[in-house]
Amino acid sequence: MKKFALWAKLLIASDKDSNRMFDVVSVEKCSSYSYEEVKGALDKALDEIDALSFVKPGMKVGIKANLVSAMAPEKSATTHPMLMKRLCERLMELGASVVIGDSPGGLYTPMFLNNVYKTCGLEEMVKELDPSGEKVTLNQDYSISNGEFMEAVSIKTFIYTGWLDKVDAIINFSKLKTHAMMGMSCAVKNMFGTIPGATKPEYHMRFPEEKAFANIMVDLNEFFKPVLYVVDAIDGMEGNGPTAGEKRHIGAVLASKKPYGLDMVCAELIGMGYSDVGTLVAAGERNLGPKSVSEVEVVGSSLAEVKVPDFKRATIHQSITFEGKGIKGAIASIGIKLVYNTKPMVKASECVGCKKCYETCPAHAITMVAGGKNGLPQIDRSKCIKCFCCQEFCPKGAMKVHYNLLGKFANRINHV
């Protein structure tokens, strides 16, 4: 009888696991960044999941925005200031103070970050919302802290931006975009901004393989454990993301208390799946996230109302590991690598010779040669690790993801 009871318990537990549902994700349609529309959509998305129940009077909340580069809001590369404004208002109404911050690629210094804040529209937003600067501020703490996370898969020790130590809770406010290496940049990927900008290339160099790099993002989310994740998907970025792509209207605001189900829903909205997004695969293999959107409870608007199935991808990830079993699997794996053998390549007519790619390349594969006004970058293919740091941090979008002829043909078929 005891053996039967134990078998029954295991069977029930197994059945529960097979029907496991991950944290509820709220989705609300929002057609523009007008204040009234943003207010209505964001408030609904937050209230549907009781998202701000953690807030207590006197609490200091840190909002980790996506400020990947000094780019105007209409470029759709960064968290929009109108959504940020409404979230800050809600937190202030509950008696909390707010600090907004991030560490994009580049120097982690006041001069560099203040230019990013200004260009992204946050400086003006904060001045308008709280002229006294008592309740809402932009981070001006440029200290560095040492992190230790023994449960991590990729980074057990690391350095991170110290301002996060001085807040009582963290909200991750990301932007839905394509990403040349990870497939998609959203909630999970946004936590890479906790690593100081000039240090980011080091992690690309240490972990050039996609799976290992994706696990860094999961490690950071598990270390910091933000209490809330919000996604700006009103206008996203498709194509050569996360900075050099094109604006694409999606028309949604999303929220959840955990990032993995949220990212699965966002992937679904732009026509991607589990195997297309490195961070989803990494989370799924650690039993932290779903492997299908059917495992996620969605409230609010239906996904069909806001889904954009022809969203252009940065690069096609048929399998994040490119693994195959047997002879047929090996042949398929080789074929996938041949077809999707992408590489960064500069478009000389758009390059201004700023040397950002040269400065951020972790493999030191770029040199500046004669050409253009201030010189042009030249990539040593024997050293290039294809981390696409140069593409991600290029302020002009001049560094492109280049496909071979087979890749271009496959992409054309995929987007028909």
Query: Which sequence spans correspond to the domains of the chain?
Result: 20-306, 340-414
DSSP structural state of residue 138:
E
Q: Is the pLDDT of residue 334 over 70?
A: no
Range 280-306 average pLDDT: 96
pTM over 0.85: no
Tell me which long-range contacts 120-123 makes (C-beta under 8 A, separation of at least 24).
120/67, 120/70, 120/71, 120/72, 120/73, 120/78, 120/79, 120/81, 121/72, 121/73, 121/80, 121/81, 122/65, 122/67, 122/81, 122/84
Question: Which carries the bigger pLDDT value, residue 327 or residue 135?
Answer: 135
Percent share of the chain, pLDDT over 90: 66
Give me 284's structure tokens: 């799924």
Band the pLDDT of 403: cuts 50, 70, 90. low
Integer-rounded Cα Rg, in Å, for the chain is 21
When pLDDT is cut at 50, 70 and 90, the band that residue 405 belongs to is low
pLDDT for 341: 56
Q: CA 414, CA 403: separation in Å to the nearest integer?
A: 14
In whole angstroms, what is the distance from residue 259 CA to residue 270 CA?
17
CA dihedral 376, 379, 385, 391 (to 10 degrees): 30
| Topology agreement, domain 20-306 and domain 340-414 | no
Q: In this structure, what token pair is assigned to residue 349?
A: 């007519």
- 3-class DSSP assignment, residue 230: strand
Residue 222: pLDDT above 80? Answer: yes
Tell me, what's the pLDDT at 336?
Answer: 42
340-414 placed in CATH 3.50.30.40: no
What pLDDT digit, counting tens, does each position of 372-392 carry? 778 899 999 888 877 777 877
The better pLDDT of the pair 120, 107 is held by: 120
Higher pLDDT, 87 or 406: 87
CB of 33 within 8 A of CB of 15?
no
Could you tell me where the DSSP H helices lie in 48-199? 81-93, 110-119, 122-129, 187-190
On whether the 20-306 domain is CATH 3.40.930.10, my answer is no
Segment 177-200 mean pLDDT: 92
DSSP code string of 97-113? EEEEE---SS--SHHHH
What is the Cα–Cα distance from 82 to 191, expressed in whole angstroms? 21
Question: What pLDDT is attached to residue 9?
Answer: 43
Please check the confidence at residue 180 and state whether its pLDDT lies above 90: no
Reply yes or no on whether the pLDDT at 17 is more than 70.
Answer: no
